[in-house]
């Protein structure tokens, strides 16, 4: 006869129906709104209803964007490494003035919407940006001397801005967790400092470097807004090509082929990345000795450190500062404005957000876009956080269902927003939906994109609540809901807030799926910025920058709050 298992200390086996209950809603939601659209893209190619002939496809239209996507992603990644790795060395080994600020700033790119970053570089280096207007004033030029917009360099610069901090954070995190005694052991065994670096430090860092590199490559590979807004029409990556084929040329089959190719690539990279990050947990001894962090010592070291700090500050601060300043300074003429231009500080661009002059592109003032964005974001928070909470609880139930459903929940992380948008317009272009109802689908698409982040935030937080606390509450007389209310909820609160901020900022800044689903009557902020920034006239430009600045401030506040709230030791990546 077997003894009864311990009821209080041991883990009580949960019935599978409980897990199934928790999974019910999220699975239905994902099935209907994520997998159905995804499958519809495949279906498009094989179903006779569309009458698509694969053999008639001009494959050069497929290979060319693929080649360019791989090329730009590789080059961007290499450039990012060239700045990021020295940056990681800097953060791991040295203290320097402004380190805290720089560390805080380094969280920004992760959350900033592409339209904001594009607007930032536009305000810095674009034809109406600080540098060009400055040079024109200085040398009395008629045209902007620096051609930055619509160049390959612009794409690379923005990608480096976005991803340098990923390399720095992931690599310096792994570096500073290295046991300093390993290096010392190598030294005592006769390895010179350079040999120690090559034989001990570098091999131990390799998984972290590779994993960060793959992540950066993935982000560059799926880059959409940057290419569209800074690269211009002559540079088409897979993402941009899918968008153009689907939305401008209405060639859905080609878009579908590109999407499937894109999906295969991103899935491959994501799987490789997950494998690598698992390897990264090289058991650091509990008595590991921390690397000493000190001031730069010798003369040339000081110079290198100073150069790096200045470079990183310039990279991270200059586009954002340019954006903010440019949004409150009038430097050139409004559309149709003649005669002397009143240059100087102005809040005109912000005030104009409430107005709806005749020449506006919209039937509504820009502030309506902000209102729409906010409403969509609030709905996204509601959907993503409730689903995320259900998934987190379902994952905790240790049921065989989880082996299948866990990875299926995380898949939206690998699929690009563009693919999702394409799937949406294929599936939901029929009753009960119609093209007019697409804006209703926006928060749903945003929720799908935010869900993996929410689950990754809530899951570990929930797992981190010791079961003994719940048992204690039960023994002290709390009913099940009361246990949840008194124990789970207060302990989850910070993580709930973090996941809400994630959902908020993702929804506010989302541009890829949005560009498929938006309609002129219901613009969101990124869509409005995209339209305004390419219009002639200082007022349109200024309004675009004003909106970007507002969006940036909201996102910055969000990420700084997340940094303060996140569990110690839990990095975003």
Partner 1 sequence: MLTVQTIEKAYEGQPLLKKVSFTVQDDETICLLGSSGSGKSTLLRIIAGLEEAEAGQVLWDGIDLTNVPAHEREFGLMFQDYALFPHHNVAENIAFGLRMQGRPRDEIAEKVQAALETIHMTSFARRKVTELSGGEQQRVALARALAPEPRLLMLDEPLGALDRTLREQLSRELRRILRETQVPAIYVTHDQEEAFAIADRLLLLHDGVILQSGQPHEIYHHPKNVWVAKFFGLGNLVDGTVTQHAPLTVNTPFGPVRANCQGQPPAIGAAATLLFRPGQARYPAREGGNPITGKVVDQVFQGERYLVTLTINPALPSFQVLLQEPQTLGRPLTVSFEPEDLLCLENGKESE
Q: How far is the CB of 553 from partner 1 (least distance, A)?
A: 42
192 touches partner 1 (CB under 8 A) = yes
Q: How far is the CB of 211 from partner 1 (least distance, A)?
A: 15
Nearer to partner 1, 287 or 403 (CB): 287
How many other C-beta atoms lie within 10 A of the C-beta of residue 301? 13
Q: Which of 46, 189, 436, 489 binds partner 1 (CB under 8 A)?
A: 189
Collapsing DSSP states into helix, strand and coil, what is residue 344? Answer: strand
Q: Which of 40, 106, 163, 179 binds partner 1 (CB under 8 A)?
A: 179
Nearer to partner 1, 212 or 384 (CB): 212
Site for partner 1, residues 236 to 295, rule: CB under 8 A: 282-283, 285-289
Q: Which of 24, 46, 78, 185 binds partner 1 (CB under 8 A)?
A: 185
Nearer to partner 1, 187 or 334 (CB): 187
d(CA 199, CA 94): 22
d(CA 205, CA 70): 25
Nearer to partner 1, 98 or 203 (CB): 203
d(CA 169, CA 90): 11
Q: How far is the CB of 77 from partner 1 (least distance, A)?
A: 24
555 touches partner 1 (CB under 8 A) = no
How many other C-beta atoms lie within 10 A of the C-beta of residue 315? 18
Structure tokens at 153: 């360099």
d(CA 422, CA 517): 9
* Cis ω for the linkage preceding 432 (within 30 of 0): yes
486 touches partner 1 (CB under 8 A) = no
Q: How far is the CB of 85 from partner 1 (least distance, A)?
A: 19
CB within 8 Å of 250: residues ≥ 6 apart:
none
How many other C-beta atoms lie within 10 A of the C-beta of residue 35? 15
Q: How far is the CB of 192 from partner 1 (least distance, A)?
A: 5
* Torsion angle, alpha carbons of 349, 372, 320, 450, to 10: 180
188 touches partner 1 (CB under 8 A) = yes
Closest CA to 420 of 38, 5, 9: 38
Piece of the chain touching partner 1 by CB under 8 A; list 198-206, 412-420, 483-491, 543-551: 198-206
209 touches partner 1 (CB under 8 A) = no
Q: Which of 117, 156, 170, 186 binds partner 1 (CB under 8 A)?
A: 186
Collapsing DSSP states into helix, strand and coil, what is residue 530? Answer: helix
Nearer to partner 1, 15 or 193 (CB): 193
Piece of the chain touching partner 1 by CB under 8 A; list 156-164, 175-183, 211-219, 368-376: 175-183
Q: How far is the CB of 294 from partner 1 (least distance, A)?
A: 13
174 touches partner 1 (CB under 8 A) = no
Q: How far is the CB of 49 from partner 1 (least distance, A)?
A: 55
181 touches partner 1 (CB under 8 A) = yes
Q: Which of 171, 204, 323, 525 binds partner 1 (CB under 8 A)?
A: 204
Q: How far is the CB of 484 from partner 1 (least distance, A)?
A: 39
Nearer to partner 1, 200 or 258 (CB): 200
Structure tokens at 20: 């199934």
Q: Which of 25, 66, 79, 182 binds partner 1 (CB under 8 A)?
A: 182
Q: How far is the CB of 292 from partner 1 (least distance, A)?
A: 10
Nearer to partner 1, 67 or 295 (CB): 295
Q: How far is the CB of 191 from partner 1 (least distance, A)?
A: 5
CB within 8 Å of 114: residues ≥ 6 apart:
158, 223, 224, 225, 226, 229, 509, 511, 526
Task: Give 60-88 as a DSSP string.
Answer: HHHHHHHHHHHHHHHHHHHHHHHHHHHHH
Q: How far is the CB of 97 from partner 1 (least distance, A)?
A: 23
d(CA 366, CA 356): 8
Size, binding site for partner 1 by CB under 8 A: 26
Q: Provide the b/e sequence for 338-354 (b: ≥16 CB within 10 Å).
A: eeeeeeeebebbbebbe
Q: Which of 135, 199, 371, 440 binds partner 1 (CB under 8 A)?
A: 199
| Own/partner pairs, 558-564, CB within 8 angstroms, 24+ separation | 558/111, 558/501, 558/504, 558/505, 559/107, 559/108, 559/110, 559/111, 559/501, 559/505, 560/104, 560/107, 561/497, 561/498, 561/501, 562/107, 562/111, 562/498, 562/501, 562/502, 563/104, 563/107
Nearer to partner 1, 301 or 521 (CB): 301
Nearer to partner 1, 5 or 192 (CB): 192
Q: How far is the CB of 93 from partner 1 (least distance, A)?
A: 16
Positions touching partner 1 (CB under 8 A) are 179, 181-182, 184-193, 195-196, 199-200, 203-204, 282-283, 285-289
């Amino acid at each position: 006869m077997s003894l009864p298992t311990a009821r209080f200390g041991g883990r009580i086996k949960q019935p599978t129906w409980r897990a199934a209950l928790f999974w019910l809603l999220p699975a239905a939601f994902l099935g209907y709104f994520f997998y159905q659209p995804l499958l519809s893209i495949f279906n498009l190619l094989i179903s006779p209803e569309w009458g698509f002939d694969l053999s008639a496809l001009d494959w050069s239209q497929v290979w060319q964007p693929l080649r360019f996507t791989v090329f730009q992603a590789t080059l961007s990644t290499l450039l990012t490494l060239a700045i990021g790795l020295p940056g990681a060395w800097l953060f791991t080994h040295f203290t320097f003035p402004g380190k805290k600020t720089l560390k805080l700033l380094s969280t920004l790119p992760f959350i900033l919407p592409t339209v904001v970053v594009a607007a930032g570089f536009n305000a810095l280096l674009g034809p109406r940006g600080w540098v060009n207007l400055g040079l024109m004033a200085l040398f009395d030029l008629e045209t902007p001397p620096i051609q930055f917009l619509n160049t390959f360099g612009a794409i690379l610069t923005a990608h480096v801005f976005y991803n340098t901090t990923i390399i720095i954070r992931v690599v310096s995190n792994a570096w500073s967790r290295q046991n300093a005694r390993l290096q010392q052991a190598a030294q005592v065994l006769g390895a010179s400092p350079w040999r120690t670096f090559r034989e001990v430090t570098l091999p131990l860092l390799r998984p972290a470097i590779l994993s960060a590199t793959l992540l950066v490559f993935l982000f560059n590979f799926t880059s959409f807004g940057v290419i569209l807004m800074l690269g211009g029409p002559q540079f088409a990556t897979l993402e941009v090509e899918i968008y153009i084929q689907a939305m401008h040329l209405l060639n859905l089959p080609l878009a579908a082929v590109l999407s499937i190719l894109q999906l295969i690539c991103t899935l491959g990279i994501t799987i490789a990345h997950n494998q690598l990050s698992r390897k990264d947990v090289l058991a650091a001894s509990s008595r590991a000795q921390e690397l000493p962090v000190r001031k730069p010592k010798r003369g040339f070291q000081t110079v290198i450190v100073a150069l790096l700090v200045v470079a990183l500050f310039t990279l991270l601060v200059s586009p954002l500062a340019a954006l903010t300043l440019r949004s409150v300074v009038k430097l050139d003429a409004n559309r149709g404005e003649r005669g002397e231009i009143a240059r100087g500080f102005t809040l005109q661009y912000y005030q104009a957000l409430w107005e709806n002059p005749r020449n506006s592109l919209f039937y509504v003032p820009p502030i309506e876009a902000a209102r729409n964005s906010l409403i969509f974001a609030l709905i996204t928070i509601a959907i993503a956080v409730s689903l995320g909470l259900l998934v987190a609880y379902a994952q905790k139930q240790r049921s065989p269902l989880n082996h299948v459903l866990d990875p299926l929940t995380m898949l939206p992380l690998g699929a690009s927003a563009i693919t999702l948008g394409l799937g949406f317009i294929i599936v939901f272009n029929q009753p009960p939906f119609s093209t007019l109802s697409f804006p209703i689908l926006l928060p749903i698409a945003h929720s799908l994109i935010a869900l993996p982040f929410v689950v990754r935030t809530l899951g570990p937080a929930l797992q981190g609540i010791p079961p003994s606390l719940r048992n204690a509450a039960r023994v002290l007389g709390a009913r099940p809901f009361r246990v949840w209310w008194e124990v789970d909820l207060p302990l989850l609160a910070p993580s709930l807030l973090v996941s809400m901020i994630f959902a908020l900022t993702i929804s506010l800044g989302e541009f890829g799926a949005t560009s498929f689903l938006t309609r002129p009557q219901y613009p969101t902020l990124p869509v409005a910025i995209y339209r305004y920034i390419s219009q002639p006239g200082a007022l349109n430009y200024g309004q675009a920058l004003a909106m970007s600045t507002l969006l940036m401030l909201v996102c910055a506040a969000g990420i700084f709050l997340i940094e303060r709230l996140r569990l110690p030791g839990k990095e975003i990546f």
